[in-house]
Amino acid sequence: MVLELSEEATEFGLQAIQVLRAAGGDDLVQAAEADPTRRQALVEPVLARIGAWELAPRRDPVELEAAAALCRSAGYWATPYPVAERLARPDDLDVDLLVAVAGAHPAAALAGIDLRVAAVDPGGRRGSATVLPAAGSPRETGFVAPLSVDPVDESGSGDLALAYVLPCWTLLGLLDRAMELAREHVLVRQQFGRPLAEFQSVQFQLTDAEVERRGVEVLARYALWSMQAGRPDAVADALALRVAALEAADVVFRVTHQLHGALGFCDETTLSWLSRHSLALRRLPFGRTDTEDLLTRRIGTAGLAGLYSDPPGV
C-alpha cells in the first residue's frame, strides 16, 4: 500500500496552483460570482494550458493522482468551475462532466456552465442532466442550480467512487487554504500586546483543526489507492472519506471563523469566500447524516477494511 502521491502528480498540482494564481487567484471566484456566465471562460482555458482536460483518471493510476492533485489545487483558490466533475466524466457516455446526485430534487453547482452533464445516483443509475435556472444569485446559492435528470442506464456503479472522491480532494484544498489563512491571521493579529498565536487556547484550537485536516488528507490518499487497487470496497472507502471530510470541514471552518472573529464573515476576508463556496461541496449530493447512512447500509455488519487492516490479496 503506497499512500504518497507520485512526484509527477505532486508537481502537476503545484503547477495548477501557480497557473490559477497567475490567472487571478482569489479574484476568480469574485469575478464569477459577479457574472456567473463568465465561469467557464475564466477557468477552462487556464487549466487547458497545462493539459488538465487530457487527464484520464479512469485509465491511468498516475493520472488519477494528478487529477486528485488538480482538484486540491482548485479547492485552494475556491476555483469557480466544476473541475472534479469534469475529470470524473465517464468514458462510455458522450458528456463533458459527471455529477453525483441524490434525492427527489437533484442539484449541482453548475449555474452558468454550458457543458453536457451526466448524473449518477447512489444506486448507480445514470442519466443525462439539464441544468435549470438557479433560484437566486450566486452569493445566495453558491452557483447551485436544480437539475432535470433523464435516466439512461443502470451501469454507473463503477462511476461512484470517482464521483465521490475527487470532490473530497477539492474540499481538502479548501481546508488547506482555510488553515493557512488562520495561521497567518493569528501571527499578525494582536491582543493584550501579544500575537494571538502565543495564546495556548489558540494553539489548541489550531491543533485540533489541523488534526482533522491531516486525517482527511491521509484518507483521501487511501481512497485513491483503493480505486487504483480495484478493491470492491472502493465506494465504501469513498463514502468513509466523505464522512471524514464533512466532519473536518465543520471543525476547520468553525475554528478559523472563531479565530478571525466577525472579520471572517466580511467579503474583505478571503475566508468568507472560501467558507461560502465550500457549502455546495458539503451539502451536495448529500450531507453528513445521509453520507453516514449510505456508508452504513453499504458495509452492513462487515465494517471497513481501513488503513491498518490487512485485506486479502493486498
CATH number of the domain enclosing 252: 1.20.140.10
| 309 DSSP 8-state letter | S
CA distances from 94 to 111, 155, 159, 285, 288 (A): 21, 15, 15, 22, 32
- Side-chain half-sphere exposure of 35, counting CA atoms within 13 A: 7
Number of domains, the chain: 1
Burial class (CB in 10 A: 0-12, 13-18, 19+), 192: exposed
Q: Is residue 155 part of a domain?
A: no
What does the alpha-carbon distance between residue 301 and residue 314 come to, in Å, rounded to a whole number? 22
With residue 127 as reference, give the H or E element that holds it.
strand 126-131
Region 63-72 average pLDDT? 98
pLDDT digits (tens, 9 = 90+) for 13-53: 999 999 999 999 999 999 999 999 999 999 999 999 999 99
Indicate the pLDDT class of residue 57, thresholds 50, 70 and 90.
very high
Residue 20: name the closest of 39, 47, 40 by CA.
47
Indicate the pLDDT class of residue 308, thresholds 50, 70 and 90.
low
Indicate the pLDDT class of residue 309, thresholds 50, 70 and 90.
low
pLDDT attached to residue 189: 80
Q: Is residue 19 part of a domain?
A: no
What does the alpha-carbon distance between residue 153 and residue 165 come to, in Å, rounded to a whole number? 22
Q: Is residue 305 part of a domain?
A: no
Average pLDDT across the chain, whole number: 91
Instruction: Look at 85-89, 91-95, 187-191, 292-296 and tell me which has the smallest mean pLDDT.
Output: 187-191
Question: Residue 194's CB: how many other CB atoms inside 10 A?
Answer: 9
Q: Is residue 264 part of a domain?
A: yes
Q: Is residue 228 part of a domain?
A: yes
Burial class (CB in 10 A: 0-12, 13-18, 19+), 304: middle
Domain range for 164: 160-299
Helix, strand, coil percentages in the chain from 3-state DSSP, rounded to 5: 60, 10, 30
- pLDDT at 311 > cutoff 50: no
The sign one gets for the Cα dihedral 95, 85, 115, 143 is positive
Percent of the chain with pLDDT over 90: 78
Q: Is residue 169 part of a domain?
A: yes
Q: Is residue 183 part of a domain?
A: yes
**What stretches of 169-305 adopt beta strand conformation (E)?**
190-191, 194-195
pLDDT digits (tens, 9 = 90+) for 75-93: 999 999 999 999 999 998 9
Q: Is residue 205 part of a domain?
A: yes
Q: What is the pTM of this model?
A: 0.93
